[in-house]
Amino acid sequence: MKVLKFGGTSVGSPERIEQLLPIIRSQPSDKHLVVLSAVSGTTNDLVKLSELYEGKDIEGAYKHIDLLHQKYKKFVNELFKTDKGIQEASVFIDNIFDLFYQFKHKNFNSSAERIILAQGEIISTTLFHLYLKEKKVPSILLSALDFMLIDEDKEPNIDEIRKKASLEIAKHGEETLFITQGYICRNAQGEIDNLQRGGSDYTASLLGAALQAEEIQIWTDIDGFHNNDPRYVQNTKSIARLSFDEAAELSYFGAKILHPQSVFPARKYNVPVRLLDTMNPSAVGTLISGETTNQNQIVAIAAKDGITAIRIQSSRMLMAYGFLRKVFEVFERYKTPIDMITTSEVAVSLTIDQTDNLSEIVRELNSFSAVEIDSEQSIICIVGDFRKNNHGYATIVSEAVKHIPLRMISYGGSENNISLLVPSIFKIEALRSLHNRLF
């Protein structure tokens, strides 16, 4: 079995949906499990609808529903070619939008919002299933809510996913094409929930790992990982092969093509991931696997914005073995991950990208230290082979950015990356300068 995930842009128009079947048929395998995101823009529209309901703007919510309903009516009329196909798809769409109107009677809360957000993927998968039905192509539509499960800590339960997904597929033993939703799941209470933004990649990776697929394919609108951000840097090149560790570093530190969490299930169960371009299906793309193929070289550069740097200074840190534990416990209490960290005798600097609880964190830190905050920072991540026996790469990196103010440098914590923290206004200059020097 191969797991093929198509993102929002890949299902963003009727024309794009029509291109999916030839792509699926071109991938040799005994079975295909297709994971779809919501149609491009739909999740944002559903977030806005939830905000209108939460703000008790019923009139605004209704206008927003009407506009989105008209958009999907047009979508259906362009995608389907027969009266029967149009009628069946239209009935389905009307039922979904009738559901949206019903939330005016509810005490709107996060549970209601999650139900609304789930409809984006339910719409895209059902329309694709009905489209295949019109084309007389057999397919089975599976509800991700029957097998995608997260626990009390919002972590996926791989064993249950494997058990339940295998059971659902086994019910249709002779079928070869299955369709399901990305992003959505059920939580420990059995309620509709989700895997957060970018969760369709995560769904595909979890299913590929759980079902021990021969390959996970992520189809998007770019031909794999590039060695720098093509939005800001000219003459970037796609990377043919990456190790799981290299891909994890790049996706976490800003490369948007792949959701950061998607690498870990595939790595754990050693299922290769291939990144491919729906606009250019013949492109080689990027293969991510357990093989190390980029020895003794620098592979790529990525950048992550929205970073806040926190400097914590205290004379009590000097020779105090419990100080760092005390600092980390503050961030643990507020469930705030740390990206980078550097230390000296009397100070520690670290970065975060989740600032919802920043004021509470600073208040607690101030009780035993002096705290300085720098917002609007960016992490520049240089990924490559930085094992201790390799010489000179750190010098090349530092030489490339010697004219740019560096807030922090992290080197040695990973054999796969050097991370630099710079004010965001210098990010593009840093990316270009590093690219010119390294590549």
Residue 231, annotated ligand binder? yes
Report how far residue 129's alpha carbon sits from residue 80's, in angstroms, rounded to the nearest whole number: 12
The type of residue at 204 is A
- Left if phi > 0, otherwise alpha if psi is -120 to 50, otherwise beta: which for 296? left
Residue 43, annotated ligand binder? yes
> In this structure, are residues 177 and 4 in contact, taking their beta carbons and an 8 Å threshold?
no
> In this structure, are residues 40 and 11 in contact, taking their beta carbons and an 8 Å threshold?
yes
Report how far residue 26's alpha carbon sits from residue 281's, in angstroms, rounded to the nearest whole number: 9
Residue 249, annotated ligand binder? no
Residue 128, annotated ligand binder? no
Report how far residue 180's alpha carbon sits from residue 206's, in angstroms, rounded to the nearest whole number: 13
Residue 285, annotated ligand binder? no
Six token digits for residue 216:
């996970």
Report how far residue 277's alpha carbon sits from residue 91's, in angstroms, rounded to the nearest whole number: 33
| Nearest CA-CA partner of 170 in 180, 181, 160, 162 | 162
Six token digits for residue 294:
């980029």
Report CA 197 to chain centroid distance, whole Å.
6
Pairing of strands 408-411, 417-423: antiparallel
Residue 332, annotated ligand binder? no
Give the residues across from 379 on adjacent strands.
304, 421
Residue 355, annotated ligand binder? no
Burial class (CB in 10 A: 0-12, 13-18, 19+), 366: exposed
Residue 7, annotated ligand binder? yes
Distances (CA, A) of 52 to 34, 57, 62, 65, 283: 33, 5, 9, 11, 42
Report CA 320 to chain centroid distance, whole Å.
39
> In this structure, are residues 282 and 260 in contact, taking their beta carbons and an 8 Å threshold?
no
Residue 176, annotated ligand binder? no
| Nearest CA-CA partner of 404 in 385, 384, 431 | 431
**Residue ranges for the binding site?**
5-8, 43, 121, 220-221, 231
**Residue ranges for the binding site for ATP?**
5-8, 220-221, 231
**Residue ranges for the binding site for substrate?**
43, 121
